[in-house]
Amino acid sequence: MKHLRVCTVDILLAFACLAIVVFLLYHEGATGPYMLDDFQTLKNNKVLKLESLSIQSIYDAIFSMKTGPLYRPVSMLSFALNYYFTGNVDGYPIKLINIIIHIFTGGGVFWLTLLLLRRVGNDTVMTEEKRGAVRWTGYTALFIAAVWLLHPLYVSTVLYTVQRMTELSAMFSFYAAAAYVRGRNDLVSGKKSGFWWVLGAVFIGTALAILSKESGALLPLLLLVIECIFFRFTFHPDISKSSRYWNYGILIIPSIGVFLYLAGVIISKPGGVSFREFTLFERLLTESRAMFFYIRLIFLPDIRLMGLNYDYFRVSHSLFSPISTLPAVAGIIGLSVIGIYGVLKNKYRVLSFAILWFLAGHLLESTVIQLELVFEHRNYLPGYGFIFATGYYISHYLYRSNSLSKSLKYAIPLIILILLAIPLKIRVGNWSLASKFFMNEIKNHPESPRNFSGLAYQQSLIKQYPKAIESYQMASRLDPDETGYLLAGLKVILFKMHGVPRADLISMIESSLINNRVTPYTTQQLCTLAADSLGMDEESAAVSRAIAERFLQIAIMSNHPWPSDDQLGEAYFLLGEMKFRQNKLEDAAADLEKVAALIPGKYDARLGLARIYMNLNKIKEAEEQIKMIERNRLDPDRLIILSNLRQELMQKQRL
């Protein structure tokens, strides 16, 4: 037993060295730029930058941005505290914590892997003759964790700042899975205390994972995969039936709930959503190809194929368009059959686990929910299945081989890790500077309009305005259906170069708004165009406000559905503000009434309505708005405005 303890210390020391290596490899990337959703969720989110740790300010920060249906409060809390304790500085300290979370998650990967390998080898009971196998199991777990930590595919998860949400959800899932296996081992050996490990893993782990990112709802299903393959619902005879039924229920019922939710998505939106360029059926076909693309990147991590944006990924319109769709669909069906067959026959446990963990982990983000088609971060948790199997089979071969020397058995895994670390370091270096990042992305993915849009934004930051406009124009040529790129270029002309846009550009944007779908990016650019023009002084804002008002009206009056009520409501709010400043009070009130209906929690709209109704001497309507506002909890600034409005209303009532 003393020898086994020394082995454990050796492995833990080796993991500590691995953690240091991973940190050093990733550290350069902490200086990299913000990307995509980072700006709206983090950089421009002033409420997230805490001035104090009061309960109210923390609450406001957590719910300052609807990043998902549940607001992802655990992730938002981590960002808020990260900002607070690092002086509300953007960039480096935020990404640095992402790197640390990645390493800590690797600890969960190591723990889970060690426990699963011992289940594969039936090593829950230690005997003298198994010591060599147990020692090798520890190093195999270390090797698998190292492959996961060093895999270059995960650079975009760690260094794309807002994907801390994915990191945290995966971290809680890995540790919960390890705790579950620990508890089930106890229940198999007759220790009733294992039931509490199981309950904690399912309830606490799932809650933390979901509140970090909604994909955490898959944790019970992933635990069900572990249960079916490694435990097969077997218990020690001393474990009561009620405990067994609880174990069954807390895995099976939530897993069924996931499938029912997905069925509900299909029933409620059988054709998909209007702002996507694909139908629900086309998405399912396309995702089958995306899944094999992910598998390719896991097994053959060519960083030239990797990237932040895959907006150029071709949509599958049928089983034969493109022709690779048919074999991809057949492949997904085949993998599913192999995985399920392995469970039913209790065969191919490692292979079945790899397949079912991967497929289950993609169930929410890569099936019927109308998200964008391809993102690398979706493999942060699911990719572990194939990494586990690969590491197991390599180590199993090396351990059983009698033709290889002991030094070579250790050298081969080390060579594999070096071959992963080199492209990891190169990719991290590309992520360390905005200019290097976008030039490399465009070099590897010249068909991506979003890459040119990102380059344009960075060019505008360093005042290369003509180049920025050219890049936005290139993005628009690559995706002529996206009005947002034209709007972004227009904003550079209006607000950076302080120029007057050409008439043909205005006509082009108007035509695009009329004929093309209203996408989230289009609404973002429309609303920022209007908000920026409202933020200018009256003299210099005439042209930009007239353009913004015209574009908002066209977009609202078009027959295209908007991505969400919140975005449509925000457009109405900005339009109402413009009309209010033109003293078109009746029109402004009509727009703000629409805002109140679309976004009941937008109290600024009701404050504006109360102000307008008082100006129109509609005292009763103003009082109704104030009463509705008073029913809700407001921040101090809005409370002051509300108090002033109440006093003005009382004065008008006395008159």
Question: What does the block give as tokens for 547?
Answer: 């353009």
Q: Which residue blocks in 269-324 are alpha helix, DSSP H?
A: 280-299
Write the Ramachandran bin of 633: left for phi over 0, alpha for psi from -120 to 50, otherwise beta: beta
Please give the average per-residue pLDDT across 282-295, as a whole number. Answer: 97
Q: Which tokens belong to 66?
A: 């609807």
Residue 157 is encoded by which pair of tokens?
A: 């998860």
393 to each of 113, 410, 510, how far by Cα in Å? 13, 15, 59
Q: Would you say 26 and 149 are in contact if contact means Cβ atoms under 8 Å apart?
A: no
Question: pLDDT tens-digit profile of 372-385?
Answer: 999 999 999 999 99
What per-residue confidence (pLDDT) applies to 655? Answer: 59
Domains of the chain: 2-34+91-274+387-428 (no CATH), 498-654 (1.25.40.10)
Q: How far apart are the C-alpha atoms of 203 and 180, rounded to whole Å?
A: 11
**Tens digit of each residue's pLDDT (9 = 90 or more) over 292-341:** 999 999 999 999 999 999 999 999 999 999 999 999 999 999 999 999 99
Task: Give tens-digit pLDDT for 39-98.
Answer: 889 988 888 998 889 898 899 899 988 888 999 999 999 999 999 999 878 889 999 999
Confidence of residue 133 (pLDDT cuts 50, 70, 90): low
Smallest CA-to-CA distance from 519 within 569, 484, 491, 479 is with: 484
Q: Is the pLDDT of residue 396 over 70?
A: yes
d(CA 227, CA 211): 24
Residue 131's pLDDT is 54
pLDDT over 50 (residue 3): no
**Do the Cβ atoms of 155 and 424 come closer than 8 Å?**
yes
Single-letter residue type at 558: S
Asked if residue 622 lies in contact with residue 613, where contact means CB atoms within 8 angstroms, the answer is yes
In terms of Cβ atoms closer than 10 Å to its own Cβ (0-12, 13-18, 19+), residue 140 is: buried
Angle, CA 393 vertex, CA 389 and CA 396 arms, to 5°: 135
Beta bridge partner(s), residue 318: 321
Mean pLDDT of 481-488: 96
Global pTM reads 0.90
Would you say 578 and 545 are in contact if contact means Cβ atoms under 8 Å apart? Answer: yes
Token pair for 273:
């959503």
Mean pLDDT of 571-590: 92
The percent of residues above 90 in pLDDT, for the chain, comes to 69
